[in-house]
Amino acid sequence: MQLPENLLQSLENIKGFNRKSFEEIHASGEQVTSIRLNPEKQPIVHGRPWSMADGVPWCPNAYYLSQRPSFTLDPLFHAGAYYVQEASSMFIWHALKNVVGQDTKKKVLDLCAAPGGKSTLLASYFTDGLVVANEVIRSRAAVLVENITKWGSDHVIVTNNDPSHFQSLPGYFDVMVIDAPCSGSGLFRKDPGAVNEWSEDNVQLCSQRQQRILADILPALKEDGILIYSTCSYSEEEDEMIADWLVSEMNMENKQLDIPAEWNIVETTSPVTKARGYRFYPDKIKGEGFFISVFQKRATVEFARLKEQPIPFPSKQEIQLLDAFIQLPPEYVLFKQADAIRAIKKEWLTDLQLLAKCLYIKKAGIEIGTVKGKDVIPSHELALSPLSHTAFETIGLTREQSLQYLRRKELLIDDAPKGWNLVGYGGLPLGWIKVLPNRVNNYYPAEWRILKE
């Protein structure tokens, strides 16, 4: 792979950059694959189709795989048992441990969230909190919804908004992760085609866009709130120079992180304000190129009384039908979005109403189902959520049957009780079937079915 000469030259004086080993690792063709397990969904099967070698040092439940299997053909992947995530970006976990610690009842925004790697990590970290996962590009927001649904968390709200729309929520969030769109040089090893799209002009454009995004979103961070800024670019204009701008222009205080030296992560200081940032070079660590820097907001935030958007609730009759179908734990409240009946923890209802006032909500809490006449049609989200585990038995499928189900093909299941049933693999639900007297209807979502044979 021929790396852009302009990029290599621009990195010559940056701490930790070693041209020879950097070029060698890009030429080696080595690929690193890593996954992060879902702590809420540990399968009971022993023979996993992948073997786990070493753990990722900076993130619990995360492992390097000795080879890259076909994730598409692994039912556990579709059940949300793990997320395939580049190892360096899992460092967010360690950063959070440093600056947030154990108090996880926070309101958290993942502004640039698709496809959902950081959002699923945040959902696992902030178990008592509320995570808003936002993606501005509509098609990418759909992928985000899919991945959040598979992860199954009930405390994530997915939105599809421009960063400027969050200005109606002054001082609302305790923590923000801005994993900014960037020129992408850190991913050249994974995606060699991206080399041809790299240019110095694009680095400048990205840097300006990063400032614009940050300027738009920072009013929504509360005083003393935490900002985590990251990119997968090596360019100083997108990394340390943004850190400088945040400190000198935006009243943000930079935070130094405590990191074991043996991890080989390079701490840099920005040219003007000496803000600390952390660089991940693929010739030094097992992962791709990544930059992260952490800040605390020191500006005061004007208090604004936010108005709530009334949210429709299901009718008495709908609630009765739903109660007969599933007994929800008492901490949940039901609400409606179009025809669908959804559940969210009561403690987050007011927040949902506030967010609904100014944001386009794609998904909040867990969709339970829709009522058609006297029937409840259960939702796929319910199948993949923790709510279904306690309420329904899961019919265990073999791997072949699971793939048949995930391809949305016909299933033959002996002795299944009539009506709605959950089917699953390794003890983890994959979705619904409806057993009729003469056939079994497969309710796996058509748009998610696997096409690979």
Which parts of this chain interact with ligand SAM (CB under 6 A)?
89, 112-118, 135-137, 140, 163, 179, 181, 209, 213
**Minimum distance, C-beta of residue 93 to ligand SAM, in the bound complex (Å):** 12
Which one, 41 or 118, has the nearer CB to ligand SAM? 118
Do residues 240 and 232 touch, judged by C-beta distance below 8 A? no
Structural element, H or E, at residue 96:
helix 92-99
Nearest alpha carbon to residue 158 among 383, 417, 363:
363
**Minimum distance, C-beta of residue 59 to ligand SAM, in the bound complex (Å):** 13
Which one, 163 or 171, has the nearer CB to ligand SAM? 163
29: left (phi over 0), alpha (psi -120 to 50) or beta: left
Residue 166 to residue 258: CA distance in whole angstroms: 31
Q: Specify the 3-state DSSP secondary structure of 394.
A: strand
Which one, 215 or 349, has the nearer CB to ligand SAM? 215
Which one, 163 or 426, has the nearer CB to ligand SAM? 163
Residue 370 to residue 10: CA distance in whole angstroms: 56
**Minimum distance, C-beta of residue 361 to ligand SAM, in the bound complex (Å):** 17
Q: Specify the 3-state DSSP secondary structure of 452.
A: coil
For residue 312, whether the previous peptide bond is cis, meaning omega lies within 30 degrees of 0, is: no
Which one, 140 or 286, has the nearer CB to ligand SAM? 140
Enter the tokens of residue 449: 């079915």
**Minimum distance, C-beta of residue 137 to ligand SAM, in the bound complex (Å):** 4
**Minimum distance, C-beta of residue 162 to ligand SAM, in the bound complex (Å):** 7
**Minimum distance, C-beta of residue 160 to ligand SAM, in the bound complex (Å):** 11
Residue with tokens 């969709």: 367
Nearest alpha carbon to residue 140 among 178, 181, 102:
181
**Minimum distance, C-beta of residue 413 to ligand SAM, in the bound complex (Å):** 36
Which one, 185 or 401, has the nearer CB to ligand SAM? 185
Residue 95 to residue 101: CA distance in whole angstroms: 9
Which one, 85 or 401, has the nearer CB to ligand SAM? 85
Residue 65 to residue 53: CA distance in whole angstroms: 6
Indicate the burial class of 8 (C-beta count within 10 angstroms; 0-12, 13-18, 19 or more).
middle
List beta partners, residue 36.
Answer: 62, 83
**Minimum distance, C-beta of residue 211 to ligand SAM, in the bound complex (Å):** 11
Which one, 174 or 179, has the nearer CB to ligand SAM? 179
